[in-house]
Each structure stands twice: as structure tokens, then as C-alpha cells.
Structure 1
């Protein structure tokens, strides 16, 4: 039981890192309407003095865009960093003032291009490119790491909080539950315990919350308590209508069903 509680508590670290992932639009399958953008690009140009639209034809742009979409997120970010040039690295300008923004260069296949053409060729949004640019200037060409990676969320549950929930449900099941003789075949080796079908997990949670308030200790919210229940003590279940019947009731139900089938046939 303690191993399951420990696994649940340590699992909160991975969940907090993955749930707070970048919302910078780097999954750019729909960053541009491809054909419309390519057509506008060749008709109106990119708007810069370099005339980047004359350096690439439509078929080449379409091929490069599709090749970029086949990359994973990490591969695409590393490829983008390889195409970006850092520019000046000193913190002050020529006039001695603090540099507010680092200007970089965009290159593709050895040719210097503008930011709009770069985003079109590599199928990436402005905000995602800005985030990757900041990562390149701050941490270098390595892969990006989220700022919350390795940190535990401030609202994460402590071991004692999880243990308190598990202990309350186990005590409730010991008093009101019906233990089964053995576990079902192919399932966990712990024999299941059925609670009366007239109760609900919400009712049990309310009892748990009242007991914590009376004791003056911290209680977890309803969704967290259900997650703890499913992860740490899955062998304790509220009996369904099918489970909460005896052998005699099952035989009578079957006889009624057989008679009903005969009448309908």
C-alpha cells in the first residue's frame, strides 16, 4: 500500500511538468493554409528588399513545408536553431547603451532570408519562432526545457494527505464492505471489497471531509480523492446492481428472463 501511495505522490511531479507545457503554437500543423500562403507569397512577395520570393519556387516551398511537418517537435526545434544565427552577443550597443533586443539572421540552404519567408518555409508561427529564438539566445543550441521541469507544484499533495485518504476509505470498507474470498482470475492478487450499492463515492468523500474538518487537518478535493482511490486502492469498489445480488436472486432473474423470451417468441 505504501508503495502505491509513494508512486502516486511522485507521479505528481511528472504530471505537473507535462500539464504546464509550452502553449507557444509549436505544434504547427495548421500554422498556415499552405496553398493560399504560397500563392500569396509568389503574387505579392515577402515585402522585404531581399526579394526572397524569387529565390524559391512553389514546388520547392511545398516540399520543404511537408518535410518539416514530418519532424517531431524536438527535431523541428533543433533544426530551427541550426537555421538561426545568433547575431551580436554583447550586452551593449555601439553607443554604450543596454541592448534591448538581439537581432538575428534567418538562413535557409545557405541563403539569408527574411522572417516571413523563414516562417513560411519551416511552417512555424511567429510566437513559436520567438520562443525558440529566446531559447537560443539564453541557453544556446541545446533542446528547450520548460521552466517548471523538475519542480513540484505548490498545490501538490503530500504523502500524509494521500495516506489519510487511503486510510479513511480502508477503514470505511473494513466496517461496511463485503470482502470477496479471492481476486478474479487475471486480475490483481488482492481480493476485492464491495461497498453497498446504495452508497456512492461522493457520500464517502463527504464523510471524509467532515472527519478532516473535525480533526483540524488538511483535506483533499473530490477529484483528487477519486484519483487516489483509483490509483492506490482499486480493489475497493462500490457494488453495481449486478454485483449486489445473491445466488437466489440471480436464479430468479434468469427464470423471469426465460419466461419473457418464451412469451415474446
Structure 2
């Protein structure tokens, strides 16, 4: 290698070609097509160089967070919301241009998030379960 420096410095980043359906594309288009940010792509490339093709495992995989609910709690919340919706929803009058679905329902305007949560709290206190 011909260089003006006495020693050749190691390459900071390797030359990489990006392909989509067999055609070579620029990195910007590649990131756009795969919905990748710059940092995410560089971390994926770094992992590939060090470990090869391998699934990424999150560091907190084995540690349960303090605010994680049990599966029964999730089922109970889902059932409550479904029952509450059956009692209080109204069909959408007419069709909105952005909506192509005919099964869209609305809660009345007096049903706020906090009022639904308070109703849930009341049901939970009656049943003796843990409140979420």
C-alpha cells in the first residue's frame, strides 16, 4: 500500500454494499426500506461482525420488572374492558372518510379514561383482587 504515513492505520469502518431484491442500493434507502435508524444499523452490523448471524437477546431477559402483571390480571382487565364496552358503546353514526370498517363503536363523551378506571377499581374492590 502506498501512503504518506509511515504506518497504515486500521480501517475505522468497512466498505459495505447494501442490496434490495438483488439490486445494489445506497445506505439511506436501505435504512428507509428496513425502518432502521443509524444507531440501530451500526449496532446490528457490529453484532454481526463480532458474533455472526445470531438472534439478539435483551440483557434483562431473565429479570422480571416490578410492575409486570400476572397473566390472570391481564385476562381480568381484558374481560372488564370487553364487558364495559358491551354495556356502554354506541355504533358510529354514519361513515367517516378515514374509516373503512363498519364495526367501529364509540364510548359516550361522558366516559373518560379515569371514569372507566374508577369503575374498574370498584369492581376489583368488590371481588378482592389486586388493583392494577
Per the normalisation by structure 2, the TM-score is: 0.51
Compute the displacement of 1:182 (Å).
Answer: 9.2
4+ runs of 1 displaced by more than 4 Å? 68-71, 141-144, 180-185
Compute the displacement of 1:205 (Å).
Answer: 0.9
Compute the displacement of 1:183 (Å).
Answer: 8.4
Partner of 1:178: 90
More helix by share: 1
**Aligned-residue RMSD, C-alpha:** 3.8
Q: 1:74/1:159 Cα in 2 relative to 1: closer, same or farther (>3 Å)?
A: same
Partner of 1:104: none
Q: 1:153 aligns with which of 32, 46, 64?
A: 64
Partner of 2:42: 72
| Contact 1:178–1:195 (CA under 8 A) maintained in structure 2 | yes
Partner of 1:55: 7
Unaligned runs of 5+ in 1: 1-52, 82-140, 221-265
Match of 2:14, SS?
helix
Q: 1:179/1:146 Cα in 2 relative to 1: closer, same or farther (>3 Å)?
A: closer
Q: 1:209 aligns with which of 103, 121, 126?
A: 121
Higher-RCO chain (CA-CA 8 Å, sequence separation at least 6): 1
| Contact 1:212–1:219 (CA under 8 A) maintained in structure 2 | yes
Partner of 1:200: 112
Compute the displacement of 1:195 (Å).
Answer: 1.7
Q: 1:167/1:186 Cα in 2 relative to 1: closer, same or farther (>3 Å)?
A: same
Compute the displacement of 1:68 (Å).
Answer: 7.7
Q: Deviations over 1:173-210 (max 9, x none)?
A: 333322358987633x6x22322112211211122123
Structure 2 counterparts to residues 232-251 of structure 1, below 5 A: none
Compute the displacement of 1:166 (Å).
Answer: 2.2
Q: Which has the larger radius of gyration?
A: 1
